[in-house]
Structures are given as structure tokens and as C-alpha cells.
Homo-oligomer: A and B are copies of this chain.
Amino acid sequence: MRVIAREVGVQAGALYNYIPDKQTLLHELMRDHLLELHEAVGPCLVGAAPARLEAFVRFHIAFHHARPDAVFIAYMELRNLTPENFAEIEGLRRRYEQLLAEMLHAGVEEGAFSVPDEKVASMAIIAMLTGVNTWFREDGRLSLGDVQNMYWQMVARMVSVSGTVSS
């Protein structure tokens, strides 16, 4: 709280003219983050399953790379939430995971995808995509575009029907 206050150029007590308490602040930060995520992922949800999946992979990497602080807070402070607040945040995150699971399901029905389990595959993909944030550095060997391409290629192979890799 005092760090936030200093960064805003104010004393700690003054923050409480704008937030009831820290719990609410964290909860609203996480909720806003996830609502923005849901809003921004919208355009990725149109078209055939493979195109949707490719858009999703690239989007997820870019979106989370642009918001390292929000991702950090969402990960680190999740356990400090009230049970009710935790439930809401968890629900929003699950809905996001379901978007991917439904995408995989559609791809399987289209005959384009093949996965051992749609839910498990969605968890695996999201974990692997979110993991980019832990190692990718802007000034490294690879550009973000490179990484997006590589991850899309790996995901495509992972879920494609045997032997068909689109690009």
C-alpha cells in the first residue's frame, strides 16, 4: 500500500478515499484483467477451428506479454482473496479455459484436430503459452513474433490429426 501510494505521489492513508481496502483493490485488479482478457479474445473466436486456434495462440502470448504485472498479481495474490472473491476470479479463468476447450472440441468434430482429452489439452496448451512470460525477454535472441510462430507450430502439431500440419 505504501509503495503504491509513493508511486502515485501520495501518502498511504489517502488511498482509502478511493478503495475500501486492499482486498477489494486486488480483487478489482484481477477482475478487470480477466474481463479485458475475455473482451480481447473475442475476435479469435470466429472462423474454422484451426484458424481460431492459431489466433488464440498468438493472442494469448501477446496479451500476457503486454501485461506482466497483471499476470504476476493474478498468480501471486490469488490465495489472499476472500473465498467469494476467489470463486469469482476462478470462475472467470475457467470460462477462459473453456473457450479453448470448446475450440478443440469443434476442431475434433470438424476432423481437423485430434486430442486425447479436450479439457486436459486445453490446460496443457494454456500452461505452455502462459509459461512464455517466465523466460521471454524483449532483448533476447528471439522476437515475440518468432515465439508466436514457434508456439503455434508446436500447438498445431500437438492437436492436429496424425500427419497433417497446416503450415
Contact = CB atoms under 8 A, between A and B. Distances in A.
Interface of A: 76, 115-117, 120-121, 123-128, 130-132, 134-135, 142, 147, 149-151, 153-155, 157-160, 162-165
B154 A135 contact: no
Given A150-B116, A154-B115, A163-B162, A131 B124 contact: yes
Given A157-B158, A160-B157, A163-B163, A151 B124 contact: yes
Nearest to A133: B127
Most buried by B among A149, A153, A154: A154
For the complex formed by this chain, how many copies does it contain in all?
Answer: 2
Contacts of A160: 157
Contact of A116 (B76, B131, B134, B149): B149
A128 B157 CA distance: 15
A152 B121 CA distance: 11
A131 B123 contact: yes
